[in-house]
Structure 1
């Protein structure tokens, strides 16, 4: 099956839609409060929702050996705070489309590097010239969207 039309790709696209919605909602919340208050409230709500999901799914949360996991794998929580804050700050200044375009270019560029180097325990997937050309064309297309 074509990777582009596979279930994981469709799930990732849905994730992108939710990220654009999340950024928009967080930005509007920030306009009515402050960036730090917005970030805190969003993460408290996310924590409650995640806790409810863990309880409903009966995930054996306490059975994991959390102390044996490399420390840097927990940085996702820190990055989540940074992401919510930066997206909420950027959208009012440049708009949802422009911010999302810049986010995607940053994500794809970082993803290529992470894959190529096999960072953080991921499988090493060396880049090829087509991917680099794709990133360049992607950036050129993003420039056309960036109004």
Structure 2
């Protein structure tokens, strides 16, 4: 149950992060906001590491044993922050969040297929239903907006 709560909190924080970063992006620019986001993240992580102290045991030797693709998470993270900084000001937050969610579901299905050699029909049906729901809701919103 704790992991479910933690996942929900993670989703809430992701959406808040999108809103905060896109607001910063509107004020100082998308690339600059992405840089500020990661700089503040670096400072925050550094402070946490200082407080954790010697509990972290990581050496350069550990890094040299890791495959290079392990380090691409930072590149992916920057891409996520940059894209949300570009998208959120142009698309309502609820749609941005749902579209990111659809992307996550599709990626999850593809990764499950690659790693587990299986595809869940229920997951595919769920992704299709969510996509149809978003398309339907955006059409309803457009009709309401155009009448006003």
- 1:145 offset after TM fit, Å? 4.4
Partner of 2:27: 32
Q: Which runs of 5 or more residues in structure 2 are unaligned?
A: 142-148
Q: How many residues align?
A: 137
Give CA-to-partner distance per residue, 1:94-129, whole Å, 9 cap, x none. Answer: 1211111110000111011111211xxxxx262222
TM-score w.r.t. the length of structure 1 is 0.85
Equivalent positions of 1:17-96 (< 5 A) are: 17-58=12-53, 59-62=56-59, 65-96=62-93
Report the RMSD for the aligned CA atoms in angstroms. 1.7
The 1:68/1:145 distance shift into structure 2, 3 A limit, reads farther
Residues 1:134 and 2:126 are matched in the alignment: yes
**1: CA distance between counterparts of 2:128 and 2:79?**
26
8 A Cα contact 2:98 2:134, kept in partner: yes
Q: Which runs of 5 or more residues in structure 1 are unaligned?
A: 1-5, 119-123
**2: CA distance between counterparts of 1:66 and 1:145?**
47
8 A Cα contact 1:105 1:142, kept in partner: no
Partner of 1:15: 10
Partner of 1:105: 102
TM-score w.r.t. the length of structure 2 is 0.84
Structure 1 stretches of 4+ moved >4 Å: none
